[in-house]
Structure 1
Amino acid sequence: MEMTLLLLLLCARVCYTAANSRLRKFSVIQLRCNWTTALSYCKSNHSTLATMYNQEEYEQQKQLLRNGISNAWIGLNRQRYRLKWSNGDPVNASAWPSLPSENQYSYCASMHTNTTWSLCTDPKIFMCYGNGPGDSFPQYRLIKQNLTWYEAQNYCRYNLIDLVSIMNERQKEEVKNCGMNSTTPFWIGLLYDDWEWADGGKSAYRKWSTIAPYPKENILRNYTYLMKSLEDIFTVSLKNKCDGAICSEGSVRVHIIREKKIWEDALNYCNKHHDGLLRFESAEDLSAIDQQLKGTNLTGPVWIGLRQSSLFGFWVWTNGLSVNPEDWSNWEGGIWPQLPLSHQCGAMETKKGYKWVDQDCLSQLYFVCEELI
């Protein structure tokens, strides 16, 4: 096996890359192999087989498929049934004791007077959470449109933040109260399936072909791939071979520190415990971790790794890279803070768009660290 893998590694080549972000990149490898060999290759040369967190990342990975590579492995594979919130929040399993009685297909939770489980492909109305005009923090919103759970997830992520997640009894009552006008159960963001990503990413994004996969007890379709010609994710057995594999590189994990500090102390904390304050050097950087930033339930701005030079007045990231007004930036209202200023540091709003604002560096704010993985 080791010799076979070595020969494959020597013959394989990177065909295309996408998502030009320091935080998250995808590469497609031309390599005729099964899923486990593809995973070994990615781990040896990149990071792991690719994870998808949203529709945008799905589109980025699909664009990598070119002539000679009509299908490629991705990281989604069968493990064991687990509970997952759509936005990646941790699930308190003891709070949801009534699980589906049979481990078949994928099941999603809906609420009305009680919590019930249905096939995720059933159409239902659903509840999102997100910020509307004038909202200072996310609100619950019942959407009276019948969609599958996966379609509802995409709707919420595109228009608001995500399907609603419930972390305690108070939130459960709030969700029930918001859904009182409904006469039928509505989807919430709780998923129960046996699919996991190879990198351990807490992504509940799924884009199955037509219907959810068959139970593994009946047909051994335990690994997933993309096809250039079709707009879905497909499942096959380990015996199948694909033309290539999509690897991910430069992934990052975000840590929101709920302890208020001045900017300098926040920087020192992140440097000591992680890999520094969070930096965005391109729109792709922001897109790469959009899903991790959603659902923070914080109000007001948080420190990021951006500050103004006290000597020259221009804005600079903590790695020394300056923010050029002619390049990409994400300032609130598109307005570059007026110069010269002094003792000003960069913060990020915690609602959709994650716009930058300038704050006095001595202000006490929560902050965001990054950890490169």
Structure 2
Amino acid sequence: VLFIPVLVLLWAFCPLTTAGRLRTLHLEYPSTAMNFTEARNVCQSKYTDLLTDYNEQINKELVEELLEITHWEVHSVKWSDGAAVTVFKLTGNCVSDCCAAMKADKEWESVQCNKTKPFMCFDKGSTEYKLIEESKSWNEAQRFCRQNHTDLVSIRNESDNEEVKKQSSTENFWIGLQHSKINKSFTNFANQSFCIYHEGKWIRSISEVHAVCYKSLIHMSTHEMSWEGAVDYCNASGLLRIESKDDQIETEKELRKKNISEPVWIGLRQSRLFGFWMWVNGLHVGPWTNWKGGRQPEHQISHHCDVMEKVDGTFRWTDKDCRYRFRVVCEIR
């Protein structure tokens, strides 16, 4: 489950265009913060659900859009070796060009990267860490570790944190975490339930944060009908069109979420006279297609209406007799 770190309250919520033709994202930011259960309840009552399938593309587009419509400060957080940030619990008041040091009391402190301190390196494939007593800036320490070991130490979980704590030192020393309010990117916390970063504090998923909701623009009928009945059922909104791989992926997500395994009607039909396939809005199929077996049904030997049917764990397009009765997928406009 994803929560984004946000720093400044601007309005109650913000609709975002990011996410594709069949899905919209909505940033829920009420006057009081929400815990996980409250956030999900809000998302399910107003939209479809809390966003969980966060990825790099959504991350990039969401940040760009937020930066265009707000004056928010955005945190970039990263480990030196590129490992995912799943533990983040800094103290201190550093606001720019900041790096993390472990203090003598074993807490993490955020300080400017140009300060000089001892530092800790690690070697890939080894569970031991090497504390270097020579004081260097964070960037100098990073360079040293990469030249002589693997990198500055990364801490992925509490077990790693405890191992690093065991290294005796009366001085603060650098670890491999770097963060800044200047870099225009969010850390991707998708599928990381251990903890997240919010306003300089390390918090678990029950803590109060704000949420990104999504609204699916796909509707599934509860009963079965013929293809002609499906056209009437979807009326102005129209039977589902799948114009791209993204549309296909989004549709499959909703079908799986609803535990649909049987065929479902979509808005694809064959010309009885000429044999070409077209969507209900008159557009011809392509260039992206998803036919069962990789080929569209042939004229004269095919049925004239189309379903999405589960084949080897994924949904493919295939022809069916238009009189058959299946559930139908509509677009919401």
TM-score computed with the length of structure 1 as normaliser: 0.40
- Larger gyration radius, structure 1 or structure 2: 2
Task: Please state which structure has a larger fraction of its residues in strand.
Answer: 1
TM-score computed with the length of structure 2 as normaliser: 0.44
